[in-house]
Structure formats: C-alpha cells, structure tokens
Structure 1
C-alpha cells in the first residue's frame, strides 16, 4: 500500500516542493492550505505522515493534533518559518517526531519520508517476512527490483546474506510473485541433523511421496543453509539443476522452482570447503545479496516503528518511538540484523513503562571505526577510477548509516556531489535496463 503524506501549509510553493519530494519517495500526497481542510481530510482518511506548518490562515497547526486518533495516523513533523520556545515545548509534549525550521535541507525531510515509504513486495502484504522486507533504502529498492525480475523465470536463485537479514523472506517474496500454484516448502539445513537432510529432500526409499520435492511440486522448494549440505547431497542437487537427474516428484504437477539460501559470502564457503565449486557455479547464475541492516540507513527506524505498531495491536496500547530515539538506532551496528532489532524492540516495549520508547540494543556494538566496514581495499589494475569512486561513496554511506552529510565530510566532498553521484548511477542503471529491453 502506498504511504499517504498530508502536507498542511498555506505556502503553495513550499507545499508543492515538499509534495514532489514525497512523491519521489513513493508516497501519495495530499495538500491542505488551512486547518479546516486538514481536519476534514484526517476525519475521512488515515495518513502515514503529516507535515504541519504552525501558522495557518485559520489557526495554529498544532491544534490539528487535539483529539487526533494516533492509531490511524503515523508520524507528525512540524515545519515552520517562525519557531518559538512555546511551540517547541508544545511539540516536544506531543506526538511530533521532528521540528524543522524553514528553510531546511531537503535531505532532512527525505530521511523522514524514507522511514514510511516501505518497499512494495508483491504478495507479501502483512504476512511472514513483511517486517524484514520493509524499508525504502536504495539497497532494499534494488533488491526488490531484482527479486521481482527473477521471480518470473524458472532458473534457480541463490540468496546470500548475513543471519537475521531476511534471506527466507526474500525467497518467500520470489515465490509469491512467481504465480506458481504449488506450495512454498522449506528444508532448513540449520535445524536438521546432517544424516536427515538427504531423506528430507528426496524422501526415503519406501516413501518418495513424503519428500520435499514431492510436497513442493508445482511450487517452490527453498533449501536454506546450503553451506551445511553434505557434499554428496550437493552433487545430487546439482544433477537435478543441470537436468541430469529427476527430482522424482509427481509428473503431473511439475517440478518445483529451486531457491537456495546461504549465510554470508558464497565464495568464502567455497574457499572453506563447505560448498562444492561446481555446485556453486550451477546455482549462482541468478544471485541476490540481502544487505545487512547496518547498510540500510533509515530503514532501521522504519522497521522499529513497524514492530512497535504490531506490538500495539497485540497489546492494545499506543506506544511509539520517543523523539530523538532514532539516533541510537542509527548508531548501533546491529550485527544480528533484523532478528536483533526485533528482540531489542520487544524487550524495550515490555520493560519500559513510558509510551515514548528508547530502544536499547542488548549489546554495545557501535558502527566500527576500523575494519572491513570502514576500510576500502583494492588491487591496482583491477578497477577504474570511476569504479573506485563508486566503491568509496558506497562504503562511506554504509559506514555512516546512509547519512550523506557525514559521508561527504569524510570523503572531503560536498553533499551535492554525493547526490549527483547517486543520480548519475541511477541514470546509468536505467539506461542499461532500457538497452537490454527490461
């Protein structure tokens, strides 16, 4: 569902500019020039974000919040050209999450918009995997685009990512978008004894109908944790992928689509001897990487909001993130990814009495100042200067949680240069897509 943004401002120039920013982030936009118009809209429609000017022709914008049903409306952002101590104090005591003073930088509003403009993954809705896949970061948008492209074909797909990042959710989304009528069946090698994996996949000699291949006929079979597959089972799967062997499923239902998930870097698993090289070659023609949470910038705040929303529904309360709570979320590295965030939000929700929540991670793992996340290593002759620039910008954005201003300072360039770089890269991708006919 497209997020709805209500912009309440009698300055039509500002309202239209803010509306364009919201539309560019995938939001539906409604403009209101008066308090009366805004009240009429919120009575009939739910919103995900209200951008609120304080000085309106018929009253103070803050009056809109009196009696507002927060269960039907999302985040509130004040944008004013006439700040005052009184309005700031009133905003702090209200559900306002940002207090912006005009003129402000576009990226300040974009950060808020990206928290609510969640990716649209067809077929997922609010079901399993919806939280893991929520977010509007560039990394998740690219992943969504690629996942929906590979969904239409029958070739195997390899989904790689750190534990807790949402690999199974991506696989489930591919199945949902594929249009296959059969079941989505998972064989989780992480939870099965090695001796039981082969029979779980192919069935026992006396009962092949009980195999995962048989149950997934006409649908999708996900083999999760393939780094734990015994080598002879990898060889057997490879033979099926290459058409040299049959899966022994029901002929009338059709063979299942095969998806494979692996924790971490597949090439490292090959180097460590966990993954057969020929098996890796056979299943990696279509490979997707699920980004870790630390590379998804503002998504961590959107996910925390969504998790709190689900808990509110479960417990009948109206809790929300406290103003400024996003800073701690963005500083933490989240080595356990979405799984760690879910545990932190649930713990905070149940233990903190205040309706304004400060999510406290269990550990203290700040974004590293040194190491792989903050060091760019390359070999002379392996990439061009343009490619090196791309790697440097991407690494800086990932290190600073997609904070473009911080990344620009670290690289010694302007924020505009960062935006120009990202826009140019998007244009190149779009051009490449048109050139290939996709």
Structure 2
C-alpha cells in the first residue's frame, strides 16, 4: 500500500494498531481502492503463522458457497467423493478474507454468524463441530448500513462485522498520492521489461487532475497502457487513446456501452454483462433481471471469464488494457 496523504497515513495507523488483535474487521471502499491489499497488510502485520486465504463471495454460485467456506464430508451431495476442508479450515492460524460480503446469501450469513460467535463449524453433511482458528476480514463496495436496509446484509451479522470498521479512501480524496502510485507502477513495468521509461512532468500533472472513477485499479491500467504506447523512454501521453480518460468517466455513469466492429459475440456479451453489473453495483441478481437471464447464468459466465483469465475490470476494457 502506497500513500503519503493524511487519509492514507490515518489508515496505516489504524491497520498497525488493530492487526495484532483478533478483532473482526470490515473494510468498506469503492471498487479499485485496494481492499484486498489492506486485508493482506492486516495479515502480514498480525504475526499469525497461517495462510492468507481470500474468497470473493460474489464470484461463487450460492449452492457451492457453503461447501467452499465450511467444507463437506464424503457423500454430502452428488459428486462429493471425498471429504473437503473448507476455506475456514484452510486458513487455520491465518486470515480468511471474505470480499463482497453483501453478496453472500442470507441463509449462509446465519452460519457465518454462528462461526464468528462460536469459533466452530460443522461441515456440509457432517455431524461434529470443527474448531476454527482464523482471523476474519470482510469487505464490501457498498454502504454496509444501506445493505442492511436493502435486506442484503443481516443486521445481526452487520453489528458483528462492525467490531472494527475501516474505510478505504477513494483516489479522488488522496490526489497527492497519484504521482507516487504512477511512479510505482511505472517502476514495476520497467523492472519487468528491462526498460528505463519515465513520465514527463506535464504527464504526471495531467494524470493527477483526472477523475479516476475506477480508483487505483483504473490508474494502474492507464499507466500500463501509456507505457505500452510510448515511442521513447519519455512517456508524454501523446498517443491518442481508444477511449480518452475523460470519456471513460462518462461511460461509467451513463447507460451506454462501447462496441467496435469486429468484436466477437463473446466479447460483446462479456462487455454487456460487466457494464450491467457495474450499473447494478455488482449485484448479480439485479443484473440478471435486467439482462433477462437467471442469476446462475451470470455466475457461470463470471466463472468462465476467470477460468480463462478473461475477466478484466470494466475500466480496463475501456482503456484497452
């Protein structure tokens, strides 16, 4: 995590104080702000010897999520040919990071609350309790209090997760960090490709003035794109983008999608799905309703994109990275 702004220094201070403790933590921040980085920092500073295990609750079909989290015994369901230790057990002595916690089905939220309260779980199809020793860090990109009002998050689980909340500031509230981030991303690209490219001062100034609705993730993609298009070791942003940064901000807030002649049906479908998800604040069921498909279809498509390493953030698609 990189930053010299007041907001980031306060965040670093809070992470350092709570990391060694066993408090349950809820990270709240917009998409692309670095919630998983914060979760990893909490684990690294905790002193816990176990693994850091992460799960995006919105990326797993609801009927599979219970088995992924709590594990299952042999014969618990069709295809369960052997016992399986869930992520809680895999994170023994370490940290379990549950991203998009508001996407977890309400029924599973009841079981999660029981594990948090009792420090024990029962595998799917099992009859005995298994002790749990994992530090729980959760995250969401929507207001958790609003999620409770919308029925997306149980109020009892909300109050349990709010034991120690941390807010990750958006990039627009820490603009003084943009030059540091840009130089960091560029340095990593130079190290990876054996180059010595640098941004012109006016380029850094322009980058610091842009809105960056996609936050740090969008900034990283933009740096990579301009690095690739540079004709010399001086990156001056002279190459015309397929979609200008200012246009990207408009596209993310309007009900429009950018298509080009020659795109495959699979690419059109993917961009349509990702844009609809963004419009619905990553709510898979709402997106499925708008697209006229079942939620299972949405989950299956997202799983396919990940398995083929095809799913890129919407802002990355707009920048062509």
The two structures share one fold, judged by TM-score above 0.5: yes
SS of match in other structure, 1:261 = strand
- Whole-angstrom CA distance in 2 between matches of 1:158 and 1:358: 40
- Paired residues of 2:73 and 2:84 also in contact (CA < 8 A): no
- How do residues 289-438 of structure 1 correspond to structure 2 at under 5 angstroms? 289-359=167-237, 362-364=244-246
Equivalence for 1:235:
110
Q: 1:177 aligns with which of 45, 48, 51?
A: 45
1:214 aligns with 2:82: no
Equivalence for 2:134:
256
Q: 1:225 aligns with which of 100, 105, 108?
A: 100
Answer with 1 or 2: which has the greater Rg.
1
Equivalence for 1:189:
57
**Alpha-carbon deviation of 1:354?**
2.6
Q: 1:165 aligns with which of 33, 39, 45?
A: 33
In structure 2, relative to structure 1, the CA distance for the partners of 1:201 and 1:252 (3 Å cut) is: closer
In structure 2, relative to structure 1, the CA distance for the partners of 1:366 and 1:198 (3 Å cut) is: closer
- Whole-angstrom CA distance in 2 between matches of 1:221 and 1:134: 23
**Alpha-carbon deviation of 1:332?**
1.0
Equivalence for 1:84:
none
Q: 1:279 aligns with which of 122, 141, 157?
A: 157
In structure 2, relative to structure 1, the CA distance for the partners of 1:329 and 1:231 (3 Å cut) is: same
- Paired residues of 1:189 and 1:228 also in contact (CA < 8 A): yes
Per-residue CA deviation, residues 292-313 of structure 1 (Å, 9 max, x unaligned), is 1111121111101111111111
SS of match in other structure, 2:72 = coil
SS of match in other structure, 1:210 = coil
- Whole-angstrom CA distance in 2 between matches of 1:365 and 1:328: 15
Q: Once superposed, what is the RMSD of the aligned Cα atoms? A: 2.4
**Alpha-carbon deviation of 1:138?**
0.7
Equivalence for 1:86:
none
Higher strand share: 1
- Whole-angstrom CA distance in 2 between matches of 1:343 and 1:356: 18
- Paired residues of 2:56 and 2:98 also in contact (CA < 8 A): yes
In structure 2, relative to structure 1, the CA distance for the partners of 1:214 and 1:248 (3 Å cut) is: farther
- How do residues 61-72 of structure 1 correspond to structure 2 at under 5 angstroms? none
Equivalence for 2:145:
267
**Alpha-carbon deviation of 1:323?**
1.6
**Alpha-carbon deviation of 1:271?**
2.0
TM-score normalized by the length of structure 1: 0.51
Q: 2:121 aligns with which of 226, 234, 247?
A: 247
**Alpha-carbon deviation of 1:272?**
2.0
Higher relative contact order (CA 8 A, sep 6+): 2
- Paired residues of 2:7 and 2:174 also in contact (CA < 8 A): yes
**Alpha-carbon deviation of 1:247?**
2.8
In structure 2, relative to structure 1, the CA distance for the partners of 1:333 and 1:312 (3 Å cut) is: same
- Whole-angstrom CA distance in 1 between matches of 2:49 and 2:112: 23
Gaps of 5+ in 1: 1-132, 369-438
Gaps of 5+ in 2: 75-81, 251-321
**Alpha-carbon deviation of 1:338?**
1.1
**Alpha-carbon deviation of 1:197?**
1.3
- Paired residues of 1:158 and 1:284 also in contact (CA < 8 A): yes
Equivalence for 1:145:
13
**Alpha-carbon deviation of 1:365?**
6.0
**Alpha-carbon deviation of 1:198?**
1.3
- Paired residues of 2:102 and 2:140 also in contact (CA < 8 A): yes
Per-residue CA deviation, residues 198-246 of structure 1 (Å, 9 max, x unaligned), is 1110012336642001100111111111011000111111112222x61
**Alpha-carbon deviation of 1:266?**
1.1
